[in-house]
């Protein structure tokens, strides 16, 4: 079933029953279910569409500006995120903020930050395809509600989870792609940069510097239209 043609879970329900949660990932959440991000966030805190709902402390939805032109999509929460309920607040998140600041992008004003999965996988493992599929309706609704012009996909899991491209991140990072009328760019996940600290020409950190400058230029072009 395509994301655009999800069956309406609430088709035969009364309006006051809208808060009913589809506990099975086999039951799709229809597009335009949520009127705002507050409603979506409350729904996610009660979600058990996959097993991750049984082990989380908090569903981690977003931080930043819901009216931002740039959306940054990560993989899934880690321990710090699970504890605080906010995405990208650990070491990788701190590095992400520094990367944004290096081109004068404010993490609280210029971007909206979220993940493919809203709950922490045990041991910080990669989310399974089933877990990604269970959470994808929430991500699609966030994209609809925020309506970003630019989406940065951090790492291979984010790329596969949003646009379905299965190529390695090293092959496609820094490449602008059009998806659903939006500009997307795969970039390295900050955790990968933490494991590869070299700043030499051609290194992951050097490549990230090239990519984030291109993002800043595109951001300026869109904002000044």
User: What is the predicted pLDDT for the residue at 11?
Assistant: 37
Longest dimension (CA), the chain: 60
10 Å CB burial of residue 32 (0-12, 13-18, 19+) is exposed
User: What is the predicted pLDDT for the residue at 21?
Assistant: 59
CATH superfamily placement of domain 3-223: Uracil-DNA glycosylase-like domain (3.40.470.10)
In this structure, what DSSP letter does residue 19 have?
T
Give the C-alpha separation, 18 to 184, whole Å. Answer: 32
Lookup: tokens for 1: 């079933």
pTM for the structure as a whole: 0.90
3-state SS class at 134: helix
Query: 95-122: per-residue pLDDT in tens?
Result: 999 999 999 999 999 999 999 999 999 9
**Would you say 82 and 121 are in contact if contact means Cβ atoms under 8 Å apart?**
no
Give the C-alpha separation, 56 to 8, whole Å. Answer: 28
Give the C-alpha separation, 40 to 50, whole Å. Answer: 17
Query: 144-175: per-residue pLDDT in tens?
Result: 999 999 999 999 999 999 999 999 999 999 99
Give the C-alpha separation, 181 to 196, whole Å. Answer: 33
Average per-residue pLDDT in the chain? 90
């Amino acid at each position: 079933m395509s994301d655009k043609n999800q069956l309406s879970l609430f088709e035969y329900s009364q309006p006051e029953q809208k808060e009913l949660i589809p506990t099975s990932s086999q039951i799709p959440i229809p597009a335009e279910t949520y009127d705002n991000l507050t409603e979506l966030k409350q729904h996610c805190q009660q979600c058990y569409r996959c097993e991750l709902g049984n082990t989380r402390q908090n569903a981690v939805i977003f931080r930043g500006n819901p009216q931002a032109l740039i959306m940054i999509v990560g993989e899934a929460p880690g321990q710090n995120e699970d504890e605080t309920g906010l995405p990208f607040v650990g070491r990788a998140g701190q590095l992400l903020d520094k990367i944004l600041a290096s081109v004068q992008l404010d993490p609280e004003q210029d971007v909206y930050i979220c993940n493919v999965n809203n709950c922490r996988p045990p041991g910080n493992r990669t989310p399974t395809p089933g877990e990604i599929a269970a959470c994808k309706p929430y991500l699609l609704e966030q994209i609809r509600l925020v309506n970003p012009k630019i989406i940065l996909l951090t790492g291979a899991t984010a790329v596969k989870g949003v646009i379905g491209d299965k190529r390695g991140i090293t092959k496609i990072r820094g490449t602008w792609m059009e998806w659903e009328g939006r500009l997307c760019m795969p970039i390295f996940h900050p955790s990968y940069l933490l494991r590869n600290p070299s700043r030499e020409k051609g290194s992951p950190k050097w490549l990230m510097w090239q990519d984030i400058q291109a993002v800043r230029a595109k951001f300026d072009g869109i904002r000044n239209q």
